[in-house]
């Protein structure tokens, strides 16, 4: 899941749920200033069941963005 600068619009994101999940790998690009539409990083969710893995990825994204 790509993480665009929009995720930072209300300050630094809370990475707690991503970092607590052993199936999630977070990759931040250390680009400094976050701007709308600028790719700042991504996260991957690993799993054996595609439906469960996709649901987990979507749930993590909603927690980060509220969308």
Element (H, E) at 53: helix 50-65
Which residues on adjacent β-strands are paired with residue 3? 41
pLDDT value of residue 16: 94
Digit-coded pLDDT (tens) for 3-60 = 999 999 988 999 999 999 999 999 999 998 999 999 999 999 999 999 999 999 999 9
Cα dihedral sign for 42, 54, 12, 34?
Answer: positive
66 or 45: which leads in pLDDT: 45
Q: Taking the domains of the chain in order of start, what are their residue ranges?
A: 2-65
pLDDT value of residue 32: 87
């Amino acid at each position: 899941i790509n993480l665009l600068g929009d995720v930072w619009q209300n300050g630094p994101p809370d990475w707690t749920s991503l970092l607590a999940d052993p199936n999630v790998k977070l990759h931040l690009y250390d680009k400094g200033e976050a701007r709308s539409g600028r790719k700042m990083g991504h996260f991957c969710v690993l799993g054996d069941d595609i439906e469960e893995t996709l649901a987990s990825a979507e749930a993590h994204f909603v927690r980060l963005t509220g969308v």
